[in-house]
Amino acid sequence: MGQDKRTLDFLGLFVRHQQEIYAYILTLVPHVNDADDLFQDGMTVMWRKFDQFTPGTNFAAWGIQIMRYQILEYRRNLARSKCVLMEDSLFEALLDHMPAIQDELAARIEALRTCQGRLDDRARRILKMRYEHNSPVEEIASYLKVSRRHVYHLLGRINGVLLRCMRRTLAEGSRPV
């Protein structure tokens, strides 16, 4: 029973913060395929080390720290193959600035979640089809029984609503209380 709870605890935290962790990797790794591999490998390390995570602390920060070591190892392997993407000093400077970037990214992700929650069911379904399931516009048009052009119009309108909502949400969050 304890193992089941541990698994559920890990999965709950991981699902909640996976976008934030993956975005961190993408910021530092130029190739999406490499970022995907690092994410998978890092997730395995996170699971193995989950006993070291202190409940109630920042899971994303803990996971990002693990990913940081995965990325450094990735860079060492690249250096051995003589494929250096960025000088080490520049990369270290970027790593030093990542906490501030990560905080901003986390706020944006949370604002996006909040704003998506305010959309009606139809708009959420359209977004899910297009961006989560990567459904072609033709498929969405067929499902909705509208033209492709109308789907593009709907996506533009929904994205505009999300953008305005996120700007407002982020501005409200930056005001002193």
Q: Report long-range pairs for 77-81 (Cβ below 8 Å, ≥24 apart).
A: none
Residues 13, 50, single domain; the answer is: yes
Does residue 79 lie in a domain region? yes
Residues 2, 89, single domain; the answer is: yes
Place of tokens 């600035």: 97
Residues 30, 85, single domain; the answer is: yes
The pLDDT, as a whole number, for residue 80 is 65
The pLDDT, as a whole number, for residue 155 is 93
The pLDDT, as a whole number, for residue 4 is 86
Q: Mean pLDDT in the chain?
A: 86
Specify the number of domains making up the chain. Answer: 2
Place 95 in a pLDDT band, splitting at 50, 70 and 90. confident
Backbone Cα Rg of the chain: 20
Q: Can you tell me the distance from the alpha carbon of 46 to that of 67, in angstroms, rounded to the nearest whole number?
A: 9
Range with top average pLDDT, 12-16, 100-104, 131-135: 12-16
Name residue 68's amino acid.
R
Residues 1, 84, single domain; the answer is: yes
Place 174 in a pLDDT band, splitting at 50, 70 and 90. low
Residues 87, 128, single domain; the answer is: no
Does residue 104 lie in a domain region? no
Residues 87, 56, single domain; the answer is: yes
Residues 75, 133, single domain; the answer is: no
The larger pLDDT score, comparing residue 92 to residue 28, is at 28
Residue 27 has pLDDT above 60, yes or no: yes
Residues 14, 92, single domain; the answer is: yes
Instruction: Decide: helix, strand or coil at residue 170.
Output: helix
Supply the CATH number for residue 21's domain: 1.10.1740.10
Residues 12, 75, single domain; the answer is: yes
Domain range for 154: 119-177
43, 64, 96 - which closes a domain: 96
136-148 pLDDT per residue, tens: 999 999 999 999 9
Residues 18, 81, single domain; the answer is: yes
The least confident of 88-92, 154-158, 165-169 is: 88-92
CA distances from 20 to 14, 34, 88, 127 (A): 10, 17, 24, 19
Does residue 103 lie in a domain region? no
Cβ count within 10 A of residue 175: 6
3-state secondary structure 10-32: HHHHHHHHHHHHHHHHHHHCCCH
Residues 4, 73, single domain; the answer is: yes
34-80 pLDDT per residue, tens: 899 999 999 999 999 999 999 999 999 999 999 988 998 888 877 66
Residue 172 has pLDDT above 50, yes or no: yes
Positive or negative, the Cα torsion across 32, 37, 39, 42? negative
Does residue 83 lie in a domain region? yes
The pLDDT, as a whole number, for residue 176 is 43
Rounded to 5 degrees, φ, ψ at 53 are -75, 135
The pLDDT, as a whole number, for residue 162 is 94
